[in-house]
Every structure is written in C-alpha cells, then in structure tokens.
Amino acid sequence: MKIVFIGAGNLATCVSLEMQRAGMTIAQIYSRSRESAEALAKKLNCQWTIHIGEVIPDADLYIFSLKDTALPEVIAQMKPNDGMWVHTAGSVPMQVFEGKAKRYGVFYPLQTFSKKRRMKLDQTPIFFEVNNPDDMKMLKKIAIALSGNAQELDSEKRKYLHLAAVFACNFTNHMYLLASQILEEQGVSTDLLLPLITETALKLSEMSPEEAQTGPAVRFDKEIMDKQMAMLSDLGVQTIYRLISQNIYKESLQHE
C-alpha cells in the first residue's frame, strides 16, 4: 500500500512515522512549506513536493492533515484519482470530499501531537468513517495496526468528541501556561508543578473528575479566592479565574 500525506505538520509528522514503523509505505509528502515537506520526507526517505499538481496519482491512500480552513481549498486543487482520500480533522465532516473523490472518509486519532516529541499510538483511540462500506476494512486495518483502540464514529459524534478534547487538552494546556507565567514572574521554577500535574491526570484513571476535584473553589472559600484574584494583574486572567471558580462550585453543588 502506498500512502501520501497532504500536509507535514504535527499530526502528519507523528502519524506518518508511526505508519512507517508499522511497515506501511509513505510514498510522498506534500506541503506548502518547502522546509516542512523536505524535513519530513528526509525522515521517511520518500519523495516530497510543494506543488499540489505534482502529487503522485497512483497511491492507495491520501491523508489530508491540514488546518480546517485550508482543507477545502487544497481538496479543490487536487487532481482526481482512484485512491481513497481521508482527512484527520475533528470538526470537519467527511462530506468535504463530496464531488471531488469517489472514495473518501476520516481518520481521526484522538491525541495531541508535537513534531518535537516522538510517540507511539498503541494507546491512542483512532476513529474512522467511510462513505463506501467496501473501504471500511482497509481503513480499520490501518487503524488497528497503529492502535489497539480503533472504532467507527460518524462526523456528528466526532464533532462533539473534538469539542471535549479541546477542553481536556488545549484549554488544560493553556492553564499550564498561565501557571508557569505566574511562577516565572516570581523567579520560581515551573518544574515544581510537574508532580502535581502528573498526579492530577493519574487520578482520573481511578475516579471521576467530580470526585477528584479539590481546591478553594469547590469549598467556595471566598476569602482565599478574593486574595488570589487580587494577585492577578491581568484582567483577562482574573476573568478566567472567576468564571472557572464559579463553575467548579456550581458543579460541586449538583453532585453533593
């Protein structure tokens, strides 16, 4: 099987390397960025191009790993072929391929990816969807080769899964950033937070988020919360602190 990646960003880098490790053949990388295309192709020892018209026409699978806003434009520029086209976006329906490809679908790993961090996908849930039932077997086989957790999921449910992931990952990571900035302003090492961050995540394997919740907001300790609010000079961060504290307390009341 020949696979082409349309895109060379974080997800494309991590997934293509894992596919190669699993014995799959990555035939070509396309990216608008010469630097990104060349760098990933070098790791994979494959062809690369920055011209969409030069994408090879005889691959079995084309994986579009692009920003959501760029996806329709690049799809429109691709020359039709007999291969299967899939995208990796959480909130884009597979129908984005309609009228351009006969065989299409979605290949969505529920994970956070960074080029600088190599990771295995064996514990990562991979969700797939196809327009043609005949292609289900192929896409499922690829997903299972990468992960022990592969399952079919339609575009509507995947959209909500992506929303949940934004809260669980992206927003959480932003909280880490804010926490780091608070400590850096005081000359305190941010590494001190790592054991706390690790334990916070590990607790969720043994209890629900409601059971794991601690801190002044769940107790509605107004004196401490007011003092901490006053310590924050950025009004936007103050608002984040206030709104999240209010929501934590509201949830705690519902689960008493």
Torsion of CA 13, 107, 164, 74, to 10 degrees: 70
The beta-strand segments (E) located in 96-146 are 104-109, 126-130
pLDDT computed for residue 245 by the predictor: 95
Backbone conformation region of residue 158, classed left if phi is above 0, alpha if psi is from -120 to 50, else beta: alpha
CA distance 17 to 29: 12
User: Identity (one letter) of the amino acid at 230?
Assistant: A
The three-state secondary structure class of 10 is helix
| Greatest extent of the chain over all pairs of C-alpha atoms, in Å | 67
* Same CATH fold assignment for domains 2-153 and 158-254: no
Backbone conformation region of residue 166, classed left if phi is above 0, alpha if psi is from -120 to 50, else beta: alpha
pLDDT computed for residue 102 by the predictor: 94
> In the chain, where are the structural domains located?
2-153, 158-254
Beta pairing class for 104-109 and 126-130: antiparallel
Looking at domain 158-254, its CATH class is mainly alpha
Give 15's DSSP letter: H
Give, for all 256 residues of the chain, the pLDDT tens digit: 899 999 999 999 999 999 999 999 999 999 999 999 999 999 999 999 999 999 999 999 999 999 999 999 999 999 999 999 999 999 999 999 999 999 999 999 999 999 988 889 999 999 999 999 999 999 999 999 999 899 999 999 999 999 999 999 999 999 999 999 999 999 999 999 999 999 999 999 999 999 999 999 999 999 999 999 999 999 999 999 999 999 999 998 886 6
The beta-strand segments (E) located in the chain are 2-6, 25-30, 47-49, 61-64, 84-87, 104-109, 126-130, 150-152
pLDDT computed for residue 256 by the predictor: 65
pLDDT computed for residue 254 by the predictor: 81
- Among 175, 169, 176, smallest CA distance to 204 is for 169
User: Identity (one letter) of the amino acid at 13?
Assistant: T
pLDDT computed for residue 218 by the predictor: 92
- Structure pTM? 0.91
- Neighbouring C-beta atoms of residue 38, cutoff 10 Å: 15
- CATH topology assigned to domain 2-153: Rossmann fold (3.40.50)
pLDDT computed for residue 129 by the predictor: 95
Residue 5: phi, psi to the nearest 5?
Answer: -100, 125
Task: Give the pLDDT confidence of 115-125 residue by residue, as tens digits.
Answer: 988 889 999 99
